[in-house]
Amino acid sequence: MIDIQWDDKFSVGHARIDHEHQVFLDLIRNVSLADDQKAPRERILRLLTEIRKYADFHFYSEENIMIDHAYPDYEAHKREHAMLVSSLDNRIHQYRLEEDDDLGSMVEFLFQWFALHTTGSDKKLVSHIGPEAHSA
């Protein structure tokens, strides 16, 4: 099982976004720990649903920041969010149907996406809006 830990390289330099990313990573870590502890399916499903709901909130929140700053890459960035949500929905659906018990691959998928997206698209966003920018 991969080690899900916050690392400075994930920091985008925007307090609000970094905070939400830390929570997001924590939720991925919870699934990984629950898997290690052989937690019951119902618990795992609740944790996966928690990630899914948080992703919705966090992406919407980031998209509002982009709108506020008339961010030129808004559409492309929003598409990346939508693709993650749709892949995650599929994976949770498969898990619910008990067709896919490979939580290791689920955790790895989420962590890889998180690492790539924060260090790529989210850093690019903050370099445009500035480190001290706020959405409100």
The residues binding Fe ion (CB under 5 A) are 62, 122
CB of 90 to Fe ion, least distance (A): 20
CB of 95 to Fe ion, least distance (A): 24
**CA neighbours within 13 Å on the CB side: how many for 18?**
16
113: which residues sit within 8 A by CB, 6+ positions away? 84
CB of 41 to Fe ion, least distance (A): 30
| CA separation, residue 71 to residues 28, 40, 59, 124, 127 (Å) | 28, 43, 15, 10, 11
